[in-house]
Chains A and B, each alone.
Chain A
């Protein structure tokens, strides 16, 4: 039972354009969502998060949108840069135990 789903295994975007990565979840008890970025042979690094009391959080070129009624969140990267090429993981948690449930990841490729 996949509670967090990233349906696109890969995404290719032209440098300078917007990258949109999507994530769907099924558990309505999730109240905190995060995006992590992973380069090959490295561990995931934290990118941005959002609490369920918000519908948008922005940090520089990165914006996360949360649509609770649709149980959907998305990560927007504007403008996309070559260094953004990586695998992006969506994760969710509920309550205070901070036990994250992870999606399978989306590989983002930024074309020059």
Chain B
């Protein structure tokens, strides 16, 4: 099966600019996650969708971050305006809702804010 697709792979922007990331999950996976991973740390959950509904966005900085999953398939994550501390790898993951099936991750987008 095709894996989780993310784009772009790399992005460099200046602070206060905006940026958007795109994710296409594995076909049939109802649950989609966006994680932020800062160098030397484990992934931190930003938002979890089930189909096109939000399950958890308690750690999403809503004053600058937004995410949507229209039609319950692809998802976009946006940052506006970006801050220096947003420099990180943004990982998208998806999973089937069957039992304890594991998360499948994309290769991530490395964001550098200068």
Please list the residues of chain A having a beta carbon within 8 angstroms of any beta carbon in chain B.
Answer: 4, 9, 32, 34, 41-46, 49, 51, 89, 91, 97-100, 102-105
Please list the residues of chain B having a beta carbon within 8 angstroms of any beta carbon in chain A.
Answer: 4, 31, 40-45, 48, 55-56, 91, 93, 95, 100, 102-108
* Complex contact B42–A91 (CB within 8 A): yes
Interchain pairs with CB closer than 8 A, number: 49
Known contacts A98-B100, A99-B48; is-contact A43 B42 (Cβ 8 Å): no
What's the dominant secondary structure at chain A's contact region? Answer: loop
Which chain B residues lie closer than 8 Å to A9 at the CB level? 40
Which chain A residues lie closer than 8 Å to B56 at the CB level? 97, 99
* Complex contact B102–A46 (CB within 8 A): yes
A45 CA to B70 CA in the complex, in Å? 26
Closest residue of B by beta carbon distance from A38: B105
